[in-house]
A and B are shown apart, each in its own frame.
Chain A
């Protein structure tokens, strides 16, 4: 079974631009979560999508948005990029939707975004 894929792997953008990152979950998984990893703040939860609906959101400004398609692939968008948005963006895939279940999340390789 193929793992979680993220594209692109590396990205360099200029301050003020916008960027779209893509995540394809493991086949059959319906939940995709996004995380931002920086040296200063560590790993922080951005949001989670399940069946095309955002069902959980972290404490990030509205410049960070996402969506999920009917095939469970997800995209996240960052508008008006700031220098502080430079980070490794990880997405995680899981079956989702299991009430009270403790299930594993499988992470992709990440997209390393550099804002100059």
Chain B
């Protein structure tokens, strides 16, 4: 079974500063993907960034980067130059590739971190 742990229920950051949202995961599978989603108060889940278990370099997407430490099973999201519009719930999620190579759609989510950006 897979498990995602986000230990920060809430985080506060000043506008234009960087913030790190923590995520640790647990799986016995060797092939997996890690995802971060943003959920504003409207409810829609917005994909931010993806990291594959075999990717040697940390993923980056604009102001988002993923600090992937495989040995520690952590996949922290770093948001640089925070903006007021970044205030939202952030979810870390994982999907594994099953034996035989087929990757099914099931994502396992953490409990989320509410990020508040102050002006």
Measuring CB to CB, which residues of chain A are less than 8 angstroms from any residue of chain B?
31, 33, 35, 42-43, 45, 48, 50, 55-56, 58, 88, 90, 92, 94, 96, 98-110, 112
Contact = CB atoms under 8 A, between A and B. Distances in A.
Interface of B: 31-33, 35, 37, 42-47, 50, 52, 91, 93, 95, 97, 100-112
Contact of B106 (A42, A56, A103, A104): A56
A104 B109 contact: no
Given A107-B45, A109-B42, A42 B109 contact: yes
Contact of B31 (A48, A100, A108): A100
Interface of A is mostly: strand
Contacts, number: 74
B107 A45 contact: yes
B44 A107 contact: yes
A42 B112 contact: yes
Can you list the 7 inter-chain pairs with the closest CB atoms, starting with the nearest?
A102-B33, A107-B45, A100-B101, A43-B109, A99-B101, A48-B105, A33-B105
A101 to B, nearest CB: 5
Contact of A108 (B44, B100, B109, B111): B44
Given A100-B102, A103-B103, 13 more contacts: A43-B93, A43-B107, A88-B43, A90-B45, A92-B45, A99-B100, A99-B102, A99-B103, A100-B101, A102-B32, A102-B95, A107-B47, A110-B43
A104 B35 contact: yes
